[in-house]
Amino acid sequence: MIDPVLLREHPDLIKRSQAARGDSVDVVDEAIAADAARRAAIGAYESLRAEQNAFGKTVAKAPKDEKQALVAEAQSLAARVKEAQADATAAEEGFDAVIRRIANVIVEGVPAGGEDDFTVLREVGDIPSFDFEPRDHLELGELLGAIDMHRGAKVSGSRFYFLRGIGARLELAIMNLGLDLAMRNGFVPLITPTLVRPETMAGTGFLGEHSDEVYYLPADDLYLTGTSEVALAGYHADEILDLEKGPVRYAGWSTCYRREAGSGGKDTRGIIRVHQFNKLEMFVYTLPENAEAEHQRLLGWQEQMLQSLGLSYRVIDTAAGDLGSSAARKFDVEAWVPTQGAFRELTSTSNCTTYQARRLDTRYRTESGKTAPVATLNGTLATTRWIVALLETHQRADGSVVVPEALRPYLGGLEIIEPLGV
């Protein structure tokens, strides 16, 4: 949710942001009107209610013979209070519904426009070249006995898979590499629930535009989370955090579930786009004035991960229209996937400023002792998908794959992954 004070005092700022996103600009004026209506309705209700409270005391103290007449009077007052209260509630709900349609105000510098209007900030590492025809990750995965899509489909359907042998170990190794990096930088590891209540799911906004993407269990009224961000954001909901000693950082480890409803036919081969995968997610609560610097740090750690795995990548500054509603800025790190001849997203990091925290009611105490919403940020540190770029980038002509040095300690010192047949 955006800041209602900003709405009142600087609506032009919000309008500019909405325009850059390609979202409705008129909704801002609607929200201002709804805010005025809400405040008027609340004022009317509260003064009536104060009258009723005072009157209640006279009734209580009145001698018995006068009580009956007073009660009759109080009844009509009570009816008016009830009416005013209903009006106030309706006005608040109306305001809430409108203001929720306004997305977070983008950070200065975010490119305007849609999906294709991103800015490339930098490319790092040479595009790998091969003196043989490179195999794609699935062919390699099968050769190495690492990925089994057929049996995944047999057991669970399309877009499901088994990671087996070195495949299973590779995933754990990448995740653990990320976890160690996170812990060196003060993150607290957190293995999160992957089934959450509707309130939790709604609190992070995933039931809005992403509701098609979410698995739902009607028998228990629970949702399967598509990222641990959901649980990590909910973790400190309704709390006042102490940020004086610095930001509070969590590394969430969880399985993620996505229906991939709108992506029929896209990336059907291999494990690029699947219904279930594992992910290590950074999540930070920090002071609003430190959010942009923290965002750069999260991006830095992500790049460190890709570099230590020897992957070539580029960093893009996502355009306003392609941001989620709660992100004020988003950087994606995309790794080069040789057989696709393209960069594919491996990580994403969003600065949600105070937008998400305001809805979740996560606050800190300012120097003057007042409370104010914190800023939240999130970013990927490792996922199952990384195996794709890793296998393809480091493959050799015979189908073996060189293990990047940083990963070897996590695989018992293994340097080369050999095909099973050899």
Distances (CA, A) of 259 to 27, 96, 211, 229, 312: 31, 29, 10, 17, 29
Please pick, among 273, 314, 344, 365, the residue that the annotation labels catalytic. Answer: 273
Active site residue 197: no
Residue with smaller CB distance to RNA, 42 or 287: 42
Least distance from RNA to the Cβ atom of residue 59, Å: 4
- Whether 213 and 260 have beta carbons less than 8 Å apart is answered as yes
Least distance from RNA to the Cβ atom of residue 16, Å: 24
DSSP 116: G
- The answer on whether 229 is annotated among ligand-binding residues is yes
Cα–Cα distance measured from residue 173 to residue 340, given in angstroms and rounded to the nearest whole number:
25
Residue with smaller CB distance to RNA, 93 or 398: 93
Residue with smaller CB distance to RNA, 81 or 138: 81
- The answer on whether 359 is annotated among ligand-binding residues is no
- Whether 257 and 276 have beta carbons less than 8 Å apart is answered as yes
- The answer on whether 346 is annotated among ligand-binding residues is yes
The half-sphere exposure of 108 on its side-chain side, counting CA atoms within 13 A, is 2
Please pick, among 258, 297, 359, 363, the residue that the annotation labels catalytic. Answer: 258
Residue with tokens 């949600």: 352
- The answer on whether 105 is annotated among ligand-binding residues is no
Cα–Cα distance measured from residue 346 to residue 381, given in angstroms and rounded to the nearest whole number:
9
Cα–Cα distance measured from residue 415 to residue 405, given in angstroms and rounded to the nearest whole number:
8
HEC profile for 98-155?
A: HHCCCCCCCCCCCCCCCHHHCEEEEEECCCCCCCCCCCCHHHHHHHCCCEEHHHHHHH
Active site residue 385: yes
Please pick, among 249, 297, 363, 385, the residue that the annotation labels catalytic. Answer: 385
Active site residue 199: no
Tokens encoding 349: 């990091």
- The answer on whether 258 is annotated among ligand-binding residues is yes
Binding site for RNA (CB under 7 A): 4, 39, 42-43, 45-47, 49-50, 52-56, 59-60, 71, 74-75, 77-78, 81, 240, 363, 368-371
Least distance from RNA to the Cβ atom of residue 288, Å: 15
Residue with smaller CB distance to RNA, 91 or 320: 91
| Core vs surface per residue 102-116: b (16+ CB within 10 A) or e | bbbbbbeebbeeeee
Active site residue 249: no
- The answer on whether 115 is annotated among ligand-binding residues is no
Least distance from RNA to the Cβ atom of residue 392, Å: 34
Active site residue 358: no
Residue with smaller CB distance to RNA, 37 or 124: 37
Least distance from RNA to the Cβ atom of residue 156, Å: 14
Name residue 335's beta-bridge partners. 313, 344
Q: Which residues are catalytic?
A: 258, 273, 345, 348, 385
Instruction: Could you list the residues known to form a binding site for ATP, using ranges.
Output: 258-260, 274-277, 345-348
Instruction: Could you list the residues known to form a binding site, using ranges.
Output: 227-229, 258-260, 274-277, 281, 345-348, 378, 380
